[in-house]
Amino acid sequence: MEKELKRSVEDLFLQEKPVKILILLKKENKPLYTAIISREINGTYAHILNVLAELERLKLVSFKETGRIKLVNLTELGSEVAQAIQNFIDLVSLAEAEAKVDQLYEREVKGRLREEVAKEKVSRELGRFKKNLEALTEKPPNVVLLAKKLIKKIDEVVAEVMGYPPA
């Protein structure tokens, strides 16, 4: 039984719609109608209702009936799960950003003389990466620490490209 439950939970949270539902409810921070949820995450009403029933079974969401319409709200546990999922998404975003910075460095900077580097192009791309990362500095401590580390790496690459002394 425990193995079955574990597998069904893994299947549920490795799918797009349950994750989007939890993130949406967390972001909105208020109860929503099922129809609004289905529209916002681009799912059919019937499918979203089935997913919500599963999330309710797991005590991650609760329903409050107002006449014939049900409002969906995150439970305290659901809010924590949504936050954990958002942290995971943020960490994966950091990994993607670091890979892009490394690729840019390898492609445009490494092994080249400073005069051969397209300084403006590289600085502009790195500045765009850095701006996106700065949004992550408002997140939980582990995400902030990694974002700041990558921002420092970007600053070091910019300094190398522009010929500034190492920090």
Whether 65 and 83 share a structural domain: no
| pLDDT, average across residues 13-18 | 81
Number of structural domains in the chain: 2
- 16 belongs to a structural domain: yes
Q: Are residues 70 and 86 in the same domain?
A: no
- pLDDT score for 164: 84
User: Using CA of residue 130, residue 86, residue 74, residue 14, what is the dihedral sign?
Assistant: positive
- In this structure, the answer to whether residues 115 and 157 fall within a common structural domain is yes
Do 109 and 59 share a structural domain? Answer: no
Give the Cα separation of 31 and 44 in Å (integer).
19
pLDDT band at 14 (very low <50, low <70, confident <90, very high): confident
Per-residue pLDDT at 12 exceeds 70: no
Question: What size, in residues, is the chain?
Answer: 167
113 & 64 share domain: no
Domain identity same for 52 and 113: no
- The reply to whether 118 falls in a domain is yes
Whole-Å CA distances, 165 to 52, 108, 114, 126, 162: 56, 19, 13, 18, 9
Write the pLDDT tens digit of every residue in 75-84. Answer: 999 999 999 9
Residue 167 covered by a domain: no
- Whether residue 53 is found in the same domain as residue 100: no
Tens digits of per-residue pLDDT, 37-58?
Answer: 999 999 999 999 999 999 999 9
**Domain harbouring 56, CATH code:** 1.10.10.10
CA distances (Å), origin 16, targets 28, 48, 91, 143, 156: 18, 11, 17, 22, 37
pLDDT in tens, 109-128: 999 888 888 999 999 999 99
Considering the domain architecture, whether residues 55 and 96 belong to the same structural domain is answered as no
Q: Are residues 63 and 86 in the same domain?
A: no
Asked if the structure places residue 93 within a domain, the reply is: yes
Range(s) of the domain holding residue 53: 2-74
Indicate whether 60 and 102 sit together in one domain. Answer: no
Answer whether 161's CB lies under 8 Å from 123's CB: yes
**Assigned domain for 119 exists:** yes
Q: What is the pLDDT of residue 1?
A: 46
